[in-house]
Structure 1
Amino acid sequence: MSKLAYPRELRLLTPEHFNTVFQQPHRAGSSHLTILARKNTLDHARLGQAVPKKQIKLAVDRNRFKRQVRESFRLRQHDLPAKDYVVIAKKSANDLSNEELRTLLDKLWLRLSRPPRKR
């Protein structure tokens, strides 16, 4: 299997997986999207996405957003710590170009790779 593949094992698939991440997550966000992260017991990172119709109306725009997030994750998966990540889109995410979205995602992945600050 290719080193940069995106197989089923790297996805959050069930509501239980998502609910685990939603409980006490480490957050990184901007005005366009939020990424929640929570340690998992596996040796690799996994990705889930929440792109509601209420936030991004057209299916073609939701799919573009999800495609860009998947590609960004696929390229960075080996640099990320073993956590489950959920990317949540906000309304303004639709205003970003593909390049702006990739740049923003790279910045947020980097922020989530660092250990969380103590409160």
Structure 2
Amino acid sequence: MNAVSSQTFPKYLRLQNTLDFKRIFAHGYRENLEFIKIISLENSFEFPRLGIVAGKKNLPKAVLRTKFKRVLREIFRKNKHNLSSKDYIAISTKKIKDIGSSYSGKDFERFIEGIH
């Protein structure tokens, strides 16, 4: 794997299937961070996968939802080699309304650093 391909975020690292989301919501381990909730569950692959839920209720503007997802994907992409083979769902919480566009993802970064 060359340096460029190791820095991408390919589709196979994303949770896209509704059944996967339902399985993780039903059986996953939950952890509350400062601005997001993380639900994780072991998967049968040799790599981690990420799904993001950014609801209109917590992030009413599309620009904020897009930025939230972009920040989390970037942190995941940079740290995917440190993660075990689990599926992760990151969910925005009500508290994120207060900071809106200034969300930097530091709580998610600390969560990832605490895993390994």
Q: CA deviation at 1:91?
A: 2.3
Name the counterpart of 1:70: 73
Aligned residues: CA RMSD: 1.6
Alpha-carbon separation, structure 1, partners of 2:51 and 2:105: 17
Alpha-carbon separation, structure 2, partners of 1:75 and 1:88: 19
Is 1:36 the counterpart of 2:29 in the alignment? Answer: no
Q: CA deviation at 1:2?
A: 0.9
Higher mean displacement: 15-24 or 38-47:
15-24
Q: CA deviation at 1:28?
A: 2.2
Name the counterpart of 1:17: 20
Cα distance per residue 1:72-93 (max 9 Å; x no partner): 0000111000000000001222
Name the counterpart of 2:109: 106
What secondary structure is seen at the aligned counterpart in 2 of 1:78?
helix
| Number of matched pairs | 111
Output the TM-score relative to the length of structure 1. Answer: 0.85
Q: Give ranges in structure 1 of 5+ residues lacking alignment.
A: 115-119
Output the TM-score relative to the length of structure 2. Answer: 0.87
Q: Could you tell me which amino acid in structure 1 is paired with residue 113 of structure 2?
A: L
Is 1:59 the counterpart of 2:42 in the alignment? Answer: no
Q: Could you tell me which amino acid in structure 2 is paired with residue 57 of structure 1?
A: P
Higher helix share: 2
Alpha-carbon separation, structure 2, partners of 1:50 and 1:65: 10
Give runs of ≥4 in structure 1 deviating > 6 Å: none
Q: CA deviation at 1:21?
A: 0.9
Q: CA deviation at 1:41?
A: 0.1
